[in-house]
Structure 1
Amino acid sequence: MTCDGCAKDVSGALYKLDGITKVEANHKDQLVRIEGTGAAVSILETYHQRKEERDQVPDHEKSREVRGLARMVEVSKTVTLVDLTLRGVAPGTYRATIREYGDLKDGASSTGPVWKGDLTAPSPELKGAVRGELGTVEIGPDGRGSIFLDRPFQVWEVIGHAFAVSAQAETTTTGGGGGGAQGLQNDENTVVGVIARSAGMWDNDKTVCSCTGKTLWEERKDEVKKGMI
């Protein structure tokens, strides 16, 4: 933002989103404060995924494009909020899960069963529960859907684990002992990534990338061309 006009344009675009109740845009401080009840990712979508930028992504890199965003905020030692939004997948009911492993070398199929979290469970009653089962999200005809929920784990417990969203019923593998762990198979509508720690609010207040000297918006355009955003 370079002037008050920019700040007004940003505020106007954000007020069009569902659930936004208050926007304060300050071009001098380069800050936008937002209050509301909508999914956090909808704010990013006012800037991201413009059609002309999507057209720049080569076909062979389309499989790497981002099709969802999950944000986790730990509010206590027993409760973490999960804000999940998906886009660009087929309509239907999808299951969101945290997986036992963070191994993506073979895609979703190498992430293992759903994470149980017995080793780090803070209380006896949580041992034996499958804490990695997050819930379901309904994807509409436009290929978009979102959920906001809370689950009994701390963020540090799941960092490095895979986060998967899939419409498939998990298959059961068999081994020498009979029944085996359940797992996902790769398909075009299964979305998977690895959970990583992010900075807290205002903890990463930079506008220029120290690696290249480019602004974050310039860096973003480079990543869009690579199919990474």
Structure 2
Amino acid sequence: MDTNRTAKLEFAVQMSCDSCVNAVKGVLEKEPGVQSVHVDLAKEQVLVETALTSLQVQSLIESTGRRAVLKGIGNSESDLGAAVAMVSGAGLVQGVVRFLQLSQDRCLIDGTIDGLMPGAHGLHVHELGDLTQDCMSCGDHFNPFRKPHGAPQDSERHVGDLGNITAGPDGRASFRLEDSQIKVWDVIGRSLVVDSGEDDLGRGNHPLSRITGNSGERLACGIIARSAGLFQNPKQICACDGVTLWEERDRPIAGKGRKVTDAPTANL
């Protein structure tokens, strides 16, 4: 279900003066859905408590002319865990989806996926974090209690049933959901899959309705990995591919164009 519950978002923001601070605070503090803003110029850090999506907050900050990168996500209570899936697939489909455990029985899911056909697309956690055959090796929907497929609000459903996300005319689906069955500690190492069609939520007449929601082919997927909470991400450069924090902001999240340089040809 959609949610208005707040979370805290930690951004690295390129700032060099007090006017930068005032500009960022000014655009955020007047926005409905933003509860509080704290800016640390020395650390180039902005902490926002908000009910907006991370993309909305990032867009507001960048409307001031400063680049921003989300570094951590958390809440006002104890740290119960966060995770992230970098989703990609055939063609231009790619995105980032974050999971934040708000309490023992509530999980916040915040994401943006681009390159989709306009309309509704099924979104599910699958049982396996195996991408050896792209999304086809992710296994079935995560369903530890052997329930039939259903809607997110149903008690009788797969744990991995997250319903539908909706892409606009530009192919972007930006969403912020709250779920009662997903637990971050249960889904780390599994996969998140977005499908080509609309999930019928187990209410259709098709034979696949109570199995997959008859939501079509698996368009894109990504392994759900542990993510940084608030103030847990000191990264300035990614050791795996040599991408700095600010280069990362302007590069694809995966695939061609991600690395600084391709591996050199062997010289024998």
TM-score, L = length of structure 1: 0.68
Where does residue 102 of structure 2 map in the other structure? 75
Q: Distance in 2 between matches of 1:98 and 1:85?
A: 16
Identity %: 30
- The verdict on how the C-alpha distance between 1:15 and 1:185 changes in structure 2, with shifts beyond 3 A counting, is same
Cα distance per residue 1:156-198 (max 9 Å; x no partner): 111111101123368xxxxxxxx9x769635xxx221110001
Where does residue 185 of structure 1 map in the other structure? 217
The one-letter amino acid paired with 1:29 is: K
- The verdict on how the C-alpha distance between 1:127 and 1:222 changes in structure 2, with shifts beyond 3 A counting, is closer
The one-letter amino acid paired with 1:39 is: T
Instruction: State whether residues 72 and 81 of structure 1, in contact with CA within 8 Å, keep that contact through their aligned partners in structure 2.
Output: yes
Structure 2 residue 41 is the aligned partner of structure 1 residue 27? yes
Shift of the alpha carbon at 1:37?
A: 1.5
Deviates more, 1:102-111 or 1:88-97: 102-111
- The verdict on how the C-alpha distance between 1:160 and 1:4 changes in structure 2, with shifts beyond 3 A counting, is same
Where does residue 41 of structure 1 map in the other structure? 55
Where does residue 230 of structure 2 map in the other structure? 201
Shift of the alpha carbon at 1:117?
A: 2.2
Instruction: State whether residues 134 and 151 of structure 1, in contact with CA within 8 Å, keep that contact through their aligned partners in structure 2.
Output: no
- The verdict on how the C-alpha distance between 1:139 and 1:23 changes in structure 2, with shifts beyond 3 A counting, is same
Shift of the alpha carbon at 1:136?
A: 1.3
The one-letter amino acid paired with 1:70 is: V
Deviates more, 1:4-13 or 1:192-201: 4-13
Cα distance per residue 1:44-95 (max 9 Å; x no partner): 454479xxxxxxxxxxx99586732211111233332222322231101111
The one-letter amino acid paired with 2:139 is: G
Equivalent positions of 1:95-174 (< 5 A) are: 95-118=122-145, 129-145=157-173, 146-168=175-197
Instruction: State whether residues 118 and 127 of structure 1, in contact with CA within 8 Å, keep that contact through their aligned partners in structure 2.
Output: no
Q: Distance in 2 between matches of 1:15 and 1:155?
A: 30
Shift of the alpha carbon at 1:115?
A: 0.8
Deviates more, 1:206-215 or 1:67-76: 206-215
Structure 2 residue 32 is the aligned partner of structure 1 residue 5? no
Instruction: State whether residues 164 and 198 of structure 2, in contact with CA within 8 Å, keep that contact through their aligned partners in structure 1.
Output: no
The one-letter amino acid paired with 2:145 is: D
- The verdict on how the C-alpha distance between 1:192 and 1:15 changes in structure 2, with shifts beyond 3 A counting, is farther
Instruction: State whether residues 75 and 81 of structure 1, in contact with CA within 8 Å, keep that contact through their aligned partners in structure 2.
Output: yes
Question: Normalized per residue, which structure has more strand?
Answer: 2
Shift of the alpha carbon at 1:127?
A: 10
- Listed as ranges, the gaps of 5+ residues in structure 1 are 50-60, 120-125, 171-178
- The verdict on how the C-alpha distance between 1:43 and 1:89 changes in structure 2, with shifts beyond 3 A counting, is same
How much is the aligned-residue C-alpha RMSD, in angstroms?
3.8
- Listed as ranges, the gaps of 5+ residues in structure 2 are 1-14, 70-87, 147-153, 200-207, 260-268
